[in-house]
Structure 1
Amino acid sequence: MQSRRELRKHNNRNNLYLIIIGVIIIIAIICGVFIHNKRVQAEQKQRTFATTHFNPNVTIYGVKVGNLTVNKATNKINEKADNVFFLRNKKLVSERDANIQTIDSQTVQNYFDKQHTDLPNNKKYTYNSKDLSEAKKNLQKMQKASVTYNIAGKSFKLNAADLIREVTYKDGKYQFTDVKGLTKKLKEINNQVKTLKKTYKIVVPVGNKVDGKTITTTNESYGWGVYVKKATTAVEKAFMNGDATVDGSKYIYGEGFSTYAHGYGKSNNGIGNNYVVVSIKNQELWIVRKGRVAVHLNDVVTGTLKGGKGSQTPKGVWYIMYKQSPSVLRGFNDDGSKYASKVQYWMPFTLSGCGLHDASWRTDWSKTAYLQGGSHGCVNIRPAEIRSVWDNVITNEPVIVY
């Protein structure tokens, strides 16, 4: 049987154990509370961080912006991201232009909102430029484009891959920066189809017969050509839009007083069936209407043949620039003195001042008057006959002088 002393020792030992266990429990509780508080504090810190910073693995426009704020991410993207796309020598490449803003803070904020989580995570987020992606797609498509260029009854096949060396997508716009091949091709087309400065054979009246004889003449101000600059832009647009054809008649030009493309689509070498004919040798004038001789004057007087070249009536095909009644014709005589002649009807056909008009001051209407006593280059018409010319002449119609 245990003695009272032994029993007391046993109880003291048990109490000590209980105290130690209690202390351990208290320490454990304190540590647990401390660790929990630390964890809560850490999570709160992470939550706070996540409200203003990107997750660790976020890439925008090819630039890593993990753990950056919206402002810092915006600055970094604008400093490093490509923002220009090129189709250069049949290859697609992207580059950076420091003069162009790649992205604004609101767009970066939108990307931030998409990837935002309460706590940071290591998930990968990648956001590409929609503009550059679309530009790449469009340039790939454009590179394969083919357009049929129709003009003057002819068709020409134009392939982008053969004619376009460089296209740039920059600041939201496509710019064709090297189209020398296309320009060269359109110039070749112009040389094949244009009528400006073209030399050809045409039938002119004799007497009252419209089909009189064949002469060789050259278009001067009359005619048209391909407006290469505008045509180039039209083909570029067709390549980008995927259009199959381009109507070349919309991109032509004329010369002289008006840039109207004279004679396009007309028969008879572009002359049509309404025109004026002047014979210097025979000193005659015809006006043809709807393929018939409407007016025939047998004794006009043209520019002085044996004077200076500036006094001769220029040969070739021109056009009536405008009609004016009455008018005062001003210029210089061969001796340098000025002249001012009043006329009732004035129909100029060259920028140098040659035209059709009445000449009330003229007394010599002979067939040889033009040799030494002709006009300053105009076609003089008797006052009694000028009205028939005025009534039948049409602005922009051709004037054939031979």
Structure 2
Amino acid sequence: MSKNDKRADEIIEETMRELYGDLHKSEIRDSIDEDDFDEDGFEEFDEDDHEEISHRKAKKTHAAGYDEKPDYEDFEGEEGEVESDAVKEASKAYKKHRRKKKAGKVIGTIVGILAVVYIGIALYFGSHFMFYTKINGNDVALKSVSQVESKLKKDVGDYVLTLKESDGSTEEIDGSDISLEYVQSDELAKCIKQQNNFLWIISLWNHPQIEASVGVKYDKEALADEVSGLNCMDKKNQTKSKNAYPKFMDTRFEIEPEVIGTEIDEDAFNEAIKEALDGFQSELDLTKEGCYIKPDYTKDSQEVKDAAEKMNSYLGAKVTYDFSPKTEVVDSSVISQWVKVNKKMKVKFDKDAVKKYIQSLASKYNTRGKTRTFKTATGNTVKVDGGDYGWCIAQDSEYKELTKNIKKGETVTREPKYLSKAASHDTMDMGDTYAEVDLTNQRAYFIKKGKVVLSTDVVTGNPNKGNATPPGVYSLTYKARNATLRGERRPDGTYSYETPVKYWMPFNGGIGFHDASWQPTFGGSRYKSHGSHGCVNLPPSVAPKMYELVYKDVPVVCHN
């Protein structure tokens, strides 16, 4: 190494020491990033760096009163090596500072250029439509008013409005068929003025969609003719919309969505066509523009949701009818068929369906008035018709009771409401305890728990005078002591007959059992000549016994 080279290294080393001292005093050393240094230390210093550091060194030494030729003896050995590392750190800190300074200048320049460009674009959009702008679905991006108008004037000759219908089909209205013309207006200029051109950058992701009347005129009568000739306006091609409604699905009611039909709302359709023409739109979607008559209720209507909720609450009911030993059950599978909604989305019962079900129960279990096969006390089998005894469901009352159970969501086991009852639901509905009158053989019996406990001759109604005792199965209405039996009432207030009896047991209106002290004999054919007005005459000695055996509602079987 030459002396000159050596001296240069010494000057640089001394200068770095002073810089290091300054950095050390100001605590800059703590912020220096050692990764910015190269392994070779000073090799990256250029001549300008060298001169600047020398100049700073001279100023610092002069201000401190140092001699320009410091003594380096104290920096020999290990201490010299430590100071050399410090100098490297100081060098790197200085380089980092210079790089940041240069970077700041570059960034500032870029920001300035971008600002100028942004403002320039904003000024441009003061007279042009912004990026991705569409008017009535037509692309006008980056065009001026005059450019858009020129395009509209050119396009009006080929203009066609395409109608998109709900079933996927399309129809067209040709501009030439309605004498469509473009009429210049200030509408487009207004649209540009309404743009916030200094926020043009937003249009890059929020594409402007403008609805505006661009200025056209046409023959309205010709348009009306064109519209009336469209297929979609033909009533034969239209179907009505259907409301959303609760529909039973497996186990519960779910909302079935509405169906939009093809029945045209003429007012809305004509208005939509006018707006499409005024806006020079190329397409009109009849569904989106609400040109069809909509259903009154959709799947989102609260009325539909409330109805579904109520109907599902009804499904929680379970009514078990007791027809011992048989039962009939009304549960959700049956109820779901009865519950409906009306046009106002109010929950109601299908009254006909519910009554039809109750009627089916009556047909199956009613016995009153039906022909019975009866085994007599003497062991014979006879057919017995008529009478008011037997099971008979009160259908109107039962309808009210059943629907009330369902509305409350009740689980109950009960009998249906009856007009009349019998002793049993078996084939022999009068059970094993009843009174029997054999009209042919003029005998009466009382059977208790299947055994004959009373048997007697009787005299029944005289058939030759039209007073024959009617056959049939009846139930005892009541029983009373010391009654007076009366015939028809005459105009003068008297009766055709008045007969006092000690024991009175009616079972068919004014016909019943009673004692008959005036009859000298009973049985045989006496009833044909000296029969009663229809009652069953008992011997005075038997009447008290029969009176003790019978009770209200006990069956009475009269047969031939």
TM bucket, shorter chain: 0.5 to 0.7
Q: Give 1:83-98 correspondences, 5 Å limit.
A: none
CA RMSD of aligned residues (A): 3.5
Q: Please give the secondary structure, in 1, of the residue aligned with 2:436.
A: strand
State the match for 2:417 in structure 1: 251
Q: Distance in 2 between matches of 1:180 and 1:243?
A: 22
Verify: 1:313 aligned to 2:480, yes or no. Answer: no
Q: Please give the secondary structure, in 1, of the residue aligned with 2:463.
A: coil
CA drift at 1:244: 5.0
Verify: 1:234 aligned to 2:393, yes or no. Answer: no
Larger radius of gyration: 2
Q: Distance in 2 between matches of 1:252 and 1:87?
A: 34
Q: Give 1:48-59 correspondences, 5 Å limit.
A: none
Q: Give 1:334-349 correspondences, 5 Å limit.
A: 338-349=496-507
Aligned-partner residue type, residue 373 of structure 2: K
Q: Residues 195 and 224 of structure 1 are in contact (CA less than 8 Å); yes or no, is this contact kept in structure 2?
A: yes
Gapped regions of structure 2 (runs ≥ 5)? 1-244, 257-300
CA drift at 1:263: 2.2
Q: Give 1:355-394 correspondences, 5 Å limit.
A: 355-394=512-551
| Cα shift readout 1:282-331 (whole Å, capped 9, x = no counterpart) | 1001011122111110x2100002121xx110101001110110100001
Q: Residues 254 and 308 of structure 2 are in contact (CA less than 8 Å); yes or no, is this contact kept in structure 1?
A: no
Q: Distance in 2 between matches of 1:228 and 1:281?
A: 37
Aligned pair partner of 1:161 in 321, 336, 341? 336
State the match for 1:274 in structure 2: 433
Q: Which has the higher helix share?
A: 2
State the match for 1:56 in structure 2: none
Q: Give 1:131-280 correspondences, 5 Å limit.
A: 137-142=309-314, 148-152=320-324, 153-157=326-330, 159-166=334-341, 176=348, 178-206=350-378, 212-218=379-385, 220-244=387-411, 246-247=413-414, 249-254=415-420, 261-265=421-425, 267=426, 269-280=428-439
Q: Residues 311 and 339 of structure 2 are in contact (CA less than 8 Å); yes or no, is this contact kept in structure 1?
A: no
Aligned-partner residue type, residue 327 of structure 1: A
TM-score calculated relative to the size of structure 2: 0.42
Q: Residues 145 and 161 of structure 1 are in contact (CA less than 8 Å); yes or no, is this contact kept in structure 2?
A: no
From the superposition, tell whether residues 167 and 337 of structure 1 become closer, same or farther in structure 2 (CA, over 3 Å): same
Verify: 1:400 aligned to 2:542, yes or no. Answer: no
Q: Which has the higher strand share?
A: 1
Q: Distance in 1 between matches of 2:314 and 2:406?
A: 6
| Cα shift readout 1:182-239 (whole Å, capped 9, x = no counterpart) | 0111112211111111212121112xxxxx2211113521112122122222322333
Of residues 359-368 and 282-291 in structure 1, the stretch that sits farther from structure 2 once superposed is 359-368
CA drift at 1:144: 8.2
Q: Please give the secondary structure, in 1, of the residue aligned with 2:380.
A: strand
State the match for 1:16 in structure 2: none
From the superposition, tell whether residues 166 and 340 of structure 1 become closer, same or farther in structure 2 (CA, over 3 Å): farther
CA drift at 1:332: 3.6
Q: Distance in 2 between matches of 1:376 and 1:146?
A: 51
CA drift at 1:365: 2.7
Q: Residues 166 and 179 of structure 1 are in contact (CA less than 8 Å); yes or no, is this contact kept in structure 2?
A: no
Q: Residues 460 and 532 of structure 2 are in contact (CA less than 8 Å); yes or no, is this contact kept in structure 1?
A: yes
From the superposition, tell whether residues 393 and 145 of structure 1 become closer, same or farther in structure 2 (CA, over 3 Å): closer
Q: Distance in 1 between matches of 2:401 and 2:255?
A: 23
Q: Give 1:71-150 correspondences, 5 Å limit.
A: 137-142=309-314, 148-150=320-322
Q: Please give the secondary structure, in 2, of the residue aligned with 1:285.
A: strand
CA drift at 1:176: 4.2
Verify: 1:293 aligned to 2:447, yes or no. Answer: no
Q: Distance in 1 between matches of 2:437 and 2:504?
A: 16
From the superposition, tell whether residues 313 and 137 of structure 1 become closer, same or farther in structure 2 (CA, over 3 Å): same
Identity among equivalent pairs (%): 25
Gapped regions of structure 1 (runs ≥ 5)? 1-85, 94-128, 207-211, 255-260
Q: Residues 487 and 496 of structure 2 are in contact (CA less than 8 Å); yes or no, is this contact kept in structure 1?
A: yes
Q: Please give the secondary structure, in 2, of the residue aligned with 1:242.
A: coil
Q: Residues 87 and 167 of structure 1 are in contact (CA less than 8 Å); yes or no, is this contact kept in structure 2?
A: no
Aligned-partner residue type, residue 444 of structure 2: L
